[in-house]
Amino acid sequence: MYTPRRQSNAVAAALILCATAFIAATTLMAKSLGTSTLGTPLPALQISHGRFLFAFMGLSLAACVLRPRLSRPNWRLHFARTSFGWAGVTLMFASVAFIPLADATAISFLNPVFAMMLAIPLLGEQVGRVRWSAAGLALIGAVVLLRPTPQSFQPAAMLAFGAAVVMGMELIFIKKLAGRENPFQILLVNNLIGLGIATCAVFPVWHMPTGPQWAVLTGIGLCMAVAQTCFVNAMARADASFVAPFSYGTLVFAAAYDAAFYGVRPDAITYLGAAIILTGALWLALREARLKKPVPPAPSSL
């Protein structure tokens, strides 16, 4: 058992905003590795391998210092959750090499919508008109961002859409796992299994990174470990319904990073599609908060 953290909405909000800044930073760094910015582009499978490798190393070092009390993990749930999380991370990293970070990040916010849909057959949940309306609104926003015309359609946007689908599936297993184990243990086991999956997948495409690419791979892993730690501590200090809206700060940071480092400015379609998706996702989150007090979820793999 772990000691509950003192409740503080202010601290929780600060922590979740820090988490979003670090998460957006990982997509920025993934973009630099997936393009020719630092040399020969690395495959998305190799980038996600670096994410799990260095995150696990950082968390292992923290475990040696903190010596948390660990229990026997539910390996079946962990493996299922991490498999979908790894797939979502890989697809997300692949997408940002081709489309603006703001677009990819906004599309990824569809994952709670797909989780709601998948919960019907997999968890036996009932979905009413309000939930379907919120989900439909978010999907309309995704269609706007996908720009479905011959002149403007970006096939790579479907990678981000696929990431949202599989991360929605990950949320199903997070729901089953939530509250069962120490949050630090969940992080450690998640990154251990993720490293195993990523290592097996990367063999056919792995090639030696340059020095700067090694540094960025390390940065992705460590930033993700910090982001997950901030997320876990935020969820421990406030209700999930309070914390959830702050997670959309990822979109703001992603757009700011893309503008600062790549000179990419969001266009009107990006603003419109992102606003529609965030409205639908926020409506869904508020509806869930009214129905019942949610159990703080385990952190996402991304």
Range among 140-149, 150-159, 268-277 rated most confident: 268-277
Separation between Cα atoms, residue 250 and residue 300, nearest integer Å: 14
Report the alpha-carbon distance of residue 294 to residue 127 in Å, rounded.
16
- For residues 47 and 248, the model is more confident at 47
- The answer to whether residue 222 scores a pLDDT higher than 60 is yes
pLDDT the model gives residue 295 = 47
Mean pLDDT of 127-131: 76
pLDDT higher for 256 or 3? 256
Task: With a cut of 50, say whether residue 1 has pLDDT above it.
Answer: no
pLDDT at res. 151: 60
> Is the Cβ–Cβ distance between 138 and 271 less than 8 Å?
no
When pLDDT is averaged across residues 39-56 and rounded to a whole number, the result is: 95
151, 169, 178, 233 from 198: Cα distances, Å: 36, 18, 24, 26
Helices (H), the chain: 9-34, 44-66, 75-95, 101-108, 111-123, 129-146, 157-177, 183-202, 211-237, 240-243, 249-262, 268-291
- Mean pLDDT over 42-65 rounds to 94
CA–CA–CA angle 22, 26, 49 (5° rounding) = 130
- Provide the mean pLDDT of the chain: 84
Nearest to 287 by CA among 94, 126, 89, 66: 126
- Report in angstroms the alpha-carbon separations of 55 from 47, 190, 216: 12, 10, 13
> What is the pLDDT at residue 5?
57
